[in-house]
Amino acid sequence: MTTQPSPDTAAPADPRPRGVAEGREFIALVTALMAMTALGIDLMLPAFPEIRADFGMPSDSTSVAWIVTAYFLGMSVGPWLTGPASDRFGRRAPLVAGLVLYGASAATAALAPSWGWIVAARFVWGMAAAGPRAISMAMIRDRFDGDQMARLMSMIMAVFMLVPIVAPGIGAGLIAILPWRSVFWFPAVIAIVMIVWSRRLPETLHADNRRPFTWSSVGTAVKEVVTHRQTMAMTVALVFLFGSMTTYLSGSEVIIEDVFGYGDWFALFFAAVAVLLAINSLSNARLVNLLGTERLVRRLSLFGIATAALFVIVSYTGGEKPNFWLWAVGLCLVVPIAQGLSPSSNTLAMAPLPHVAGTASAVISTLSSAGGALLGGMATGAFDGTVRPFAWHFLVFLTIAAAAIWIGTRPSHP
């Protein structure tokens, strides 16, 4: 005779949340949360002339760039608060707290009486923006791993690339009909929308996997992250991949304007490359199915070195000014390699440490953001009136990233 198990001896229920956490809405929600980081940058760019005029800056003043710089500095600090906190309290509470701070700091910038207040608000805004970004990565790791996570990251990146396409246009539209401070109010409104929407997100971190939020616990988690070969090797790769992308973002405008004289067409050129990057991300999601994550990043990294070397060769043609279209084709080959490697490299960096996903996301986000921004600034500062330093930095960055990828994906045992 068989007996039914008692409630005390029944198998435990699957703790994984259902519904939004496993469907398309989860992907849309996480993508939107990550896109808020870029929205806080790209939406501001069309307002720079109005900001200069309002605060009495010269028309060519670079001081307005502190709107971006302060934001990036805040992003470097933010993950250290939200990442470990999400390992202790779960993902939802720190996520909502970050969104509240995001909206509040955006509103503060909109109401700021002086330039100094705006810069300070932008720093806090960047700290807040780092929260949804880092926690989104942790939530993805909670729910997915391996090739499935890599495919999801590539799909999210494809949608994420729409932000640089549409955000400057939205910003220009806002300041065409409203005061320039509307580019601060708009993200504040978006934050409110995301707070409401995020209430549909179930908690993705099971209670059994939570860690104490103490110096000792966080220190132990950080030590585990920074001593893991695969995680740190892929993080180094991400630093140089992000450095390649920031080199493109910060250096391409001056080259197209000063070297080639096509400054009026830069916005169209930038949007066309962003579309190409979105298509590339979708292609990478399919390639993961065919090759697997590790084989894909190893092959793409070698292809990246080859295309960057060709880009350097192109930069030495035509004297100090190569044919623009030949140069543009080279750029449209090398930039998608750097961008396409990033989601899979991030997946491989996070994969070994699911039990400290929040802290791991904080370490990876901070190092890749801060390191990549410094590398991009160094590359942009090397501009000498030609395209050659730009091309050489791509080759150096992608070569180092490839070396780190091969080290990180090397089997631990023969």
pLDDT in tens, 252-267: 777 887 788 887 777 6
The verdict on residue 328 lying in a domain is yes
The verdict on residue 144 lying in a domain is yes
- Output the pLDDT for position 211: 67
Dist. CA 158–CA 152, nearest whole Å? 10
The verdict on residue 259 lying in a domain is yes
**Are both 191 and 273 inside the same structural domain?**
no
**Are both 62 and 166 inside the same structural domain?**
yes
Residue 412 pLDDT grade (very low, low, confident, very high; cuts 50, 70, 90): low
- Does the pLDDT value for residue 9 go beyond 80? no
- Does the pLDDT value for residue 95 go beyond 80? yes
* Helix, strand, coil share (%) of the chain residues, nearest 5: 80, 0, 20
- Output the pLDDT for position 248: 84
pTM strictly above 0.75? no
Number of domains the chain is built from? 2
**Are both 189 and 297 inside the same structural domain?**
no
Final residue belonging to a domain, choices 213, 248, 278: 213
Q: Quick one: CA dihedral 165, 107, 51, 70, positive or negative?
A: negative
pLDDT in tens, 288-327: 777 788 888 899 999 999 999 999 999 998 877 899 999 9
**Are both 191 and 264 inside the same structural domain?**
no
Residue 160 pLDDT grade (very low, low, confident, very high; cuts 50, 70, 90): low
**Which of these, 139, 214, 223, 170, lies nearest to 41 by C-alpha position?**
170
Name the residue range of residue 83's domain. Answer: 19-213
**Are both 311 and 260 inside the same structural domain?**
yes
Residue 13 pLDDT grade (very low, low, confident, very high; cuts 50, 70, 90): very low
- Output the pLDDT for position 105: 94
The verdict on residue 3 lying in a domain is no
pLDDT in tens, 311-321: 999 999 887 78
**Are both 235 and 343 inside the same structural domain?**
yes
The verdict on residue 9 lying in a domain is no
Q: Quick one: CA dihedral 288, 292, 294, 298, positive or negative?
A: negative
Final residue belonging to a domain, choices 182, 213, 244: 213
As a whole number of Å, the end-to-end CA separation of the chain is 52
The verdict on residue 221 lying in a domain is no
**Are both 297 and 382 inside the same structural domain?**
yes
**Are both 190 and 239 inside the same structural domain?**
no
Final residue belonging to a domain, choices 213, 240, 263: 213
**Are both 139 and 192 inside the same structural domain?**
yes
The verdict on residue 31 lying in a domain is yes
CATH code (residue 202): 1.20.1250.20
**Are both 125 and 232 inside the same structural domain?**
no
**Are both 159 and 267 inside the same structural domain?**
no
**Which of these, 63, 71, 41, 99, lies nearest to 370 by C-alpha position?**
71
The verdict on residue 349 lying in a domain is yes
Residue 201, Ramachandran bin (φ over 0: left; ψ between -120 and 50: alpha; else beta): beta
**Are both 246 and 284 inside the same structural domain?**
yes
Ordered DSSP codes for 7-24: TTTSPPPP-S--GGGGSH
Residue 217, phi then psi, degrees to nearest 5:
-65, -45
